């Protein structure tokens, strides 16, 4: 009997396609959503969500969902065996909900990370690369990136990473690969400021803003990020710097009251401390004659004027 090569190839191709489809279906049924990662997705307004849903219902889900394939045990998820896999949703949370609600097909793209921190870093950079972020959302993600990278540098130093630095501790966060011996260069704030074309102080203010938002209940945080709740950015920054309770803030009134209490506390600073600070800054400026030192002197003098009012 003559062997028909075309029939054999066709059968094997059909078998491979069937296997891939079954595997994809199995993956789709076992997608895991982690709140810690979902919180990094900017919330859509009601109008934006309705528009996305309409587009998907009309044209289908054209952008693949991004999944992180990792052992369940690495995430603290109960597993029947050590090699049981979780497929963690990294990008496409809104698309996934819409497709699930309407029983629509979608494609997947698998990613690999060494840790949940690496996954978070990827998600933050992915969001910052998008064009539809509001200024508030951009500040939040820049701040998150700064805080994550600072934390990573601190962890590396605690593990004995060598750093040559002539700067103070605040500026000694070296931007080098893990485990490498690299002389001190730009600080994290300076490097990110250069990347995003802003002042390093802006990056540090963004970091306080991100810290403040992380101390709010997710629903309140999302409403601030999507613009449905308007509040002064400085009020959130004050929470980032001064709110130390483990309880998350769940009401805008709490934010406003906390901001007022912090302002009152600042107003009670003894005037002598400010006078001493002005004196020290004046001596510094007389030696350096730098514009930045003069600006710091003027800023401190203005703060003192506010206390005297």
Digit-coded pLDDT (tens) for 244-284: 888 999 988 998 888 777 765 555 555 667 787 888 889 88
* pLDDT value for 78: 78
Q: Can you give the pLDDT at residue 12?
A: 47
* Phi, psi (deg, nearest 5) at residue 114: -85, -25
Name which of 36, 254, 258, 43 is nearest 144 in CA terms: 36
Q: Who has greater pLDDT, 72 or 212?
A: 212
Task: Compute the distance between CA of residue 244 and CA of residue 233 in angstroms, rounded to an integer.
Answer: 18
pLDDT of residue 161: 52
Q: What is the pLDDT of residue 209?
A: 96
pLDDT confidence of 151, banded at 50, 70, 90?
Answer: confident
Mean pLDDT on 2-31? 57
pLDDT level of residue 192 (50, 70, 90 thresholds): very high
Range in 78-92, 145-159, 280-294 with the lowest mean pLDDT: 145-159
Residue 276, CA distances (Å) to 205, 269, 282, 304, 309 in order: 26, 12, 10, 11, 19
CA distance 162 to 206: 28
pLDDT, one tens digit per residue, over 52-97 is: 999 999 999 999 999 999 988 888 887 777 778 889 999 999 999 9
Is the separation of the CB atoms in 97 and 65 below 8 Å?
Answer: no
Question: Which neighbouring-strand residues pair with 248?
Answer: none
pLDDT at 189 over 90: yes
Tell me the average pLDDT of the chain.
Answer: 80
Answer whether residue 171 shows pLDDT above 50.
no
In this predicted structure, the answer to whether residue 198 has a pLDDT above a threshold of 50 is yes
Record the tokens describing residue 167, joined without a space. 């700067």
In this prediction, residue 30 carries a pLDDT of 82
Alpha carbon distance 190, 200 (integer Å): 5
What percent of the chain stands above pLDDT 90? Answer: 37
Question: In which band, very low, low, confident or very high, does the pLDDT at 24 lie, cut at 50, 70 and 90?
Answer: low
Partners of 32 in the β-ladder: 88
Tokens linked to 228:
């449905």
Structure confidence at residue 247 (pLDDT): 92
């Amino acid at each position: 009997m003559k062997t028909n090569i075309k029939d054999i190839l066709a059968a094997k191709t059909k078998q491979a396609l069937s296997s891939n489809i079954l595997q994809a279906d199995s993956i789709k049924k076992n997608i895991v959503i982690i709140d810690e990662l979902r919180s990094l997705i900017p919330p859509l307004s009601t109008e934006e969500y309705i528009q996305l849903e309409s587009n998907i219902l009309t044209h289908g889900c054209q952008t693949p969902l991004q999944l992180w394939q990792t052992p369940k045990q690495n995430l603290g998820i109960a597993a029947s065996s050590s090699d049981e896999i979780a497929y963690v949703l990294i990008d496409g949370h809104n698309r996934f909900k819409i497709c699930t609600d309407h029983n629509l097909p979608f494609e997947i793209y698998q990613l690999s990370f060494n840790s949940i921190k690496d996954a978070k870093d990827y998600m933050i950079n992915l969001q910052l690369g998008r064009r539809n972020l509001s200024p508030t959302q951009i500040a939040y993600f820049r701040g998150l990136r700064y805080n994550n990278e600072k934390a990573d540098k601190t962890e590396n130093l605690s593990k004995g990473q060598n750093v040559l630095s002539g700067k103070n501790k605040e500026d000694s966060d070296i931007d080098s690969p893990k485990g490498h011996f690299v002389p001190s260069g730009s600080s994290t704030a300076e490097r990110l400021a250069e990347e995003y074309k802003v002042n390093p102080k802006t990056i540090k203010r963004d970091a306080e803003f991100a810290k403040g938002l992380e101390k709010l209940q997710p629903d309140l945080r999302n409403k601030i990020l999507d613009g449905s709740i308007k509040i002064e950015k400085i009020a959130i920054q004050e929470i980032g710097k001064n709110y130390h309770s483990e309880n998350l803030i769940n009401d805008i009134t709490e934010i406003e009251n906390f901001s007022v209490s912090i302002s009152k506390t600042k107003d009670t600073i003894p005037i002598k401390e400010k006078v001493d600070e002005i004196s020290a800054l004046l001596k510094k400026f007389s030696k350096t004659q730098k514009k930045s030192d003069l600006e710091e002197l003027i800023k401190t003098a203005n703060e003192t004027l506010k206390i005297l009012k």
